[in-house]
Chains A and B, each alone.
Chain A
Amino acid sequence: GNSVTQMEGPVTLSEEAFLTINCTYTATGYPSLFWYVQYPGEGLQLLLKATKADDKGSNKGFEATYRKETTSFHLEKGSVQVSDSAVYFCALRSSGQGGSEKLVFGKGTKLTVNP
């Protein structure tokens, strides 16, 4: 079945450091890939997405590129801020009719950015 594996946390960085959170997936067909962010005490919100190979999603300085050859969708940001402290979830949505309703999530990576 479809699955998402993302790097274990927690991740602690200093402000202005470079961030990478690794995400790899297993899926049949051509899934769409997402990064969701969960700020403390809130629900998840979409950070960025990519729907086909080589697409780059970007938002708020975060980027991720859909790499079909390595089945990866790593999240990067060049200079993190304290306000980026949150839990980040990688997710996929399958392309098949039987499963396109479902988002399959990774376990989440908690990021803490210190001033």
Chain B
Amino acid sequence: NAGVTQTPKFRILKIGQSMTLQCTQDMNHNYMYWYRQDPGMGLKLIYYSVGAGITDKGEVPNGYNVSRSTTEDFPLRLELAAPSQTSVYFCASSYSRGRGDEQFFGPGTRLTVL
């Protein structure tokens, strides 16, 4: 089991460029999440998905888009990169939305927008 994998690990973008952060999980989890982690701050939820074809906004969705065509993959799209999107991005997954269910995290993508 690879768990949750993310690519790339690092990326530098220029203002206005676009990119897709990839996330794949091999645990057959229904629920997947995208978080961003700013320096000295906790993680904030960007988008989440409760299953293939179903996505919903989290706390900080502006400037991002997601899709979920398969159970395994949950890519995050930045259309017009801005310096405020410089952050570390984490993808996570869980089996269900149960209160005690653990979320499994990927290793993160460090994005810098210049």
Contacts and interface: CB of A to CB of B under 8 A. Distances in A.
Interface stretch (A14-22, A69-77, A102-110): A102-110
Contacts, number: 63
B97 A43 contact: no
Interface stretch (B11-19, B66-74, B102-110): B102-110
Contacts of A42: 107-108
A81 interface: no
A39 to B, nearest CB: 10
Given A31-B99, A100-B99, A43 B43 contact: no
Contacts of B100: 32, 49, 51, 93
B107 A43 contact: yes
Interface of A: 4, 31-32, 34, 36, 41-46, 49, 51, 89, 91, 93-95, 100-108
Contacts of A44: 43, 90, 92, 105
Interface in B52-74: 56, 58-59
A3 B40 CA distance: 16
A101 B50 contact: yes
Contacts of A108: 40-42
A43 B105 contact: yes
Which of B43, B98, B99, B104 has its CB near the most chain A CB atoms (within 10 A)?
B99
B4 A43 contact: yes
Interface string B79-108: 000000000001010000111101111111
Q: Which 4 residue pairs spanning A and B have beta carbons closest together?
A: A105-B42, A43-B105, A51-B100, A32-B99
A4 B43 CA distance: 11
